[in-house]
Amino acid sequence: MKIKKGDNVIVIAGKDKGKTGKILRAMPKDSSVIVEGLNLRKKHQKARQQDKKGQVIEFAVPMHVSNVMLVEAGKPVKVAKKVVGDKKERVSRKSGKTV
């Protein structure tokens, strides 16, 4: 997976297409990511005590990593891996800059 936690991404497919957000959590085993404020679901929760009220909770659900792309200067970019010295670095294919 070429996308990591903390990256700014744009959604390229699905109901939130065109929206941008920050990666809150990356799950490489499932090939999915959770993006802040996108792909939201609502869950109705019952009152657990008599004096409390029930509520509707909104939370972000994972989306497949193929539906997002890294953002550089407001535009989506593909990411390549390049060996620099002894380390592998993520590099933008468009500009060649290290991400």
What are residue 95's phi and psi, to 5 degrees? -105, -20
Domain-embedded: residue 2:
no
Closest to 24 measured CA to CA, from 48, 40, 46, 47: 40
pTM: 0.82
Domain count, the chain: 1
Tell me the C-alpha to C-alpha distance, in Å, between residue 2 and each of 11, 46, 53: 15, 40, 43
Q: How many CA atoms, within 13 angstroms, populate the side-chain half-sphere of residue 4?
A: 4
Domain-embedded: residue 99:
no
Closest to 46 measured CA to CA, from 37, 57, 36, 35: 57
Domain-embedded: residue 45:
yes
Residue 55 belongs to domain with CATH number: 2.30.30.30
Segments forming the whole domain that contains residue 29: 8-92
pLDDT tens track, the chain, 99 positions: 889 999 999 999 989 999 999 999 999 999 999 999 999 999 999 998 888 899 999 999 999 999 999 998 888 999 999 898 899 898 988 888 887
Domain-embedded: residue 74:
yes
